[in-house]
């Protein structure tokens, strides 16, 4: 187990400091099988003990349930955490996905107040728009987010899954500290946006850095997933795609074996290799996987490893969603 303290890195150019690796809390409450609240709370507290202080949640994760869980875990330890949450989805059971995107100013303000109540905190450290609303100009949404900063309810602003044009327009309204996007050995889309982000000093928070668990090499078929696991509906986990994508996982696992590491640690080390302004937030609800993920910070991949991993993003079978 790693005993050295985690480094703190600057995320964005407005002063936000976060741990070099964060913890994604979504799967503790939503889409990845049955929850285990007691173990999840213990995992969050263990993360704080290890110096993983950057915690990520959102309103849509369990429709507030995940924020409440994180709030319980932080009771008495709020000052140790850098707390990020998101707004942008409104529940609508009349739609096939049960939700719709919403980014108007009134909804931004109402969502922030509700998240503060559920989390049991006075201030959100990093507040993201979870997805852009195509019906609402980004200038209106970020303008309302900026009002939250002025009111002391939010410290820093972020966006999620946006293109370069939206980054430019949002940043012109109020400085953006971070963009959160999926980023891993097999998902590279955000690299098209990175030059714009870096020009403005905006950090990247990488979610699903383990390819939603596929890159850990622990799954050999879709049947390894729980029956209620959302990944069963994901194109990359389908029976048709599984064999092709298994070749990617096997390559990661082979590199891991050469280092005496796990495949998850290699996948995380690859994300860390992309720059000090890239902070992965691997998710888990188990302490043992948290500790494994933290140990990835001790692994430095050789140039030959990076060369082997580079083409894997183009070899993936299936779309992200």
- Residue 271 binned pLDDT confidence (cut-offs 50, 70, 90): very high
Confirm if 40 and 28 have CB atoms less than 8 A apart: yes
Q: What count of other Cβ atoms lies within 10 Å of the Cβ of residue 113? A: 11
pLDDT at residue 34 above 90? Answer: no
Q: How much is the pLDDT for 197?
A: 98
Summarised one tens digit per residue, pLDDT across range 82-131 is 999 999 999 888 887 888 999 999 999 999 999 999 999 999 999 999 99
pLDDT at residue 227 above 90? Answer: no
**137: exposed, middle or buried (Cβ count in 10 Å: 0-12, 13-18, 19+):** middle
pLDDT at residue 223 above 90? Answer: no
Mean predicted confidence (pLDDT) in 161-172? 98
Q: How much is the pLDDT for 29?
A: 95
- Residue 249 binned pLDDT confidence (cut-offs 50, 70, 90): very high
Q: What does DSSP say about strands 8-10 and 17-19: parallel, antiparallel, or unpaired?
A: antiparallel
The torsion of the CA quartet 254, 259, 260, 264, rounded to 10 degrees, works out to -60
Q: What is the gyration radius of the CA atoms in the chain, in angstroms?
A: 19
- Residue 193 binned pLDDT confidence (cut-offs 50, 70, 90): very high
Its sign, for the CA torsion 64, 78, 76, 37, is: positive
Maximum alpha-carbon separation in the chain: 54
**Closest alpha carbon to 67 in 51, 84, 88, 47:** 84
Instruction: List the catalytic residue out of 61, 127, 183, 207.
Output: 61
Q: How much is the pLDDT for 6?
A: 87
pLDDT at residue 1 above 70? Answer: no
Q: What is the DSSP letter of 128?
A: E
Q: What count of other Cβ atoms lies within 10 Å of the Cβ of residue 195? A: 9
Domain boundaries, the chain: 8-210+272-298
Q: Is 207 a catalytic residue?
A: no
pLDDT at residue 276 above 80? Answer: yes
- Reported as type and span, the H/E element at residue 110 is helix 105-119
User: Domain 8-210+272-298: which topology?
Assistant: TIM Barrel (3.20.20)
Summarised one tens digit per residue, pLDDT across range 38-87 is 999 999 999 999 999 999 999 999 999 999 999 999 999 999 999 999 99
Mean predicted confidence (pLDDT) in 205-213? 97
pLDDT > 70 fraction of the chain, expressed in percent and rounded: 99
List the beta strands (DSSP E) in the chain. Answer: 8-10, 17-19, 23-24, 54-56, 82-87, 89-91, 99-101, 124-129, 154-160, 178-182, 203-207, 278-280
Mean pLDDT taken over the chain: 95
Confirm if 21 and 297 have CB atoms less than 8 A apart: yes
Summarised one tens digit per residue, pLDDT across range 284-318 is 999 999 999 999 999 999 999 999 999 999 999 99
Summarised one tens digit per residue, pLDDT across range 144-155 is 999 999 999 999
Q: How much is the pLDDT for 11?
A: 96
């Amino acid at each position: 187990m790693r005993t050295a303290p985690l480094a703190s890195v600057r995320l964005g150019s407005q002063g936000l400091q976060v741990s070099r690796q964060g913890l994604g809390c979504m799967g503790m409450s939503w889409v990845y099988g049955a929850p285990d609240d007691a173990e999840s709370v213990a995992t969050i507290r263990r993360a704080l003990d290890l110096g993983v202080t950057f915690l990520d949640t959102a309103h849509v994760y369990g429709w507030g349930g995940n924020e409440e869980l994180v709030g319980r875990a932080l009771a008495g330890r709020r000052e140790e955490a850098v707390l990020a949450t998101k707004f942008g989805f409104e529940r609508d059971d009349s739609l096939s996905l049960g939700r719709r995107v919403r980014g108007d100013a009134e909804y931004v303000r109402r969502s922030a107040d509700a998240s503060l109540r559920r989390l049991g905190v006075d201030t959100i450290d990093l507040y993201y728009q979870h997805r852009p609303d195509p019906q609402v100009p980004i200038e209106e949404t970020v303008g309302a987010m900026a009002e939250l900063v002025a009111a002391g309810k939010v410290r820093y602003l972020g966006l999620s899954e946006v293109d370069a044009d939206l980054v430019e327009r949002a940043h012109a309204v109020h400085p953006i500290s971070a963009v959160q996007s999926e980023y891993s050995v097999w998902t590279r889309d955000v690299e098209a946006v990175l030059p714009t982000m870096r020009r403005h000093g905006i950090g990247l928070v990488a979610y699903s850095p383990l390819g939603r668990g596929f890159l850990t090499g622990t799954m050999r078929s879709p049947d390894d997933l729980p029956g209620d696991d959302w990944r069963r509906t994901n194109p990359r986990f389908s029976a048709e795609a599984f064999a092709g994508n298994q070749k990617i996982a096997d390559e990661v696992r082979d590199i891991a074996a050469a280092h005496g590491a796990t495949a998850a640690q290699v996948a995380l080390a690859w994300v860390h290799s992309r720059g000090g302004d890239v902070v992965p937030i691997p998710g888990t609800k188990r302490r043992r996987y948290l500790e494994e993920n933290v140990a990835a910070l001790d692994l430095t991949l050789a140039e030959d490893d990076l060369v082997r991993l580079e083409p894997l993003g183009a070899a993936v079978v299936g779309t992200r969603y």
